[in-house]
């Protein structure tokens, strides 16, 4: 009964309004899901942009830390200390003993 009365109300509406409504509905569905500029694609692109911006912030922090390290290493004494600690460099008449823990604890 309810569907019959609903169908009668739909039939009572003029045909051009139904056509306009159907076209509008079709357009909204097309633009939301099917088109190359659809809402879903824009959502994915915005997520990718956010991810890249976060990665950019992290890389900028790393660059700032590297710039600070470079400024510190302009001094010859700090450069020598860094080379000795990280690369095992030594002077000509010097012997270096590297002691490693067997259990891996420092």
- Span 26-77, pLDDT tens digits: 888 887 777 777 788 888 999 999 999 999 999 999 999 999 988 888 888 8
Cβ–Cβ < 8 Å for 2, 8: no
* Domain ranges for the chain: 1-35, 37-91
Alpha-carbon span 68 to 61, nearest angstrom: 11
Alpha-carbon span 63 to 67, nearest angstrom: 6
Predicted local distance difference test score (pLDDT) of residue 95: 78
**What is the model's pTM?**
0.50
CA torsion 57-63-65-69 (nearest 10°) is: 180
């Amino acid at each position: 009964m309810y569907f019959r009365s609903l169908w009668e109300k739909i039939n009572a509406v003029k045909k051009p309004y139904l056509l306009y409504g159907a076209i509008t509905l079709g357009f909204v569905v097309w633009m939301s899901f099917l088109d190359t500029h659809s809402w879903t694609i824009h959502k994915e692109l915005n997520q990718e942009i956010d991810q890249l911006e976060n990665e950019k912030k992290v890389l900028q922090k790393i660059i700032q830390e590297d710039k600070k390290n470079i400024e510190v290493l302009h001094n010859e004494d700090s450069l020598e200390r860094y080379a000795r600690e990280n690369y095992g460099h030594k002077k000509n008449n010097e012997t270096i003993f590297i002691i490693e823990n067997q259990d891996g604890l420092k």
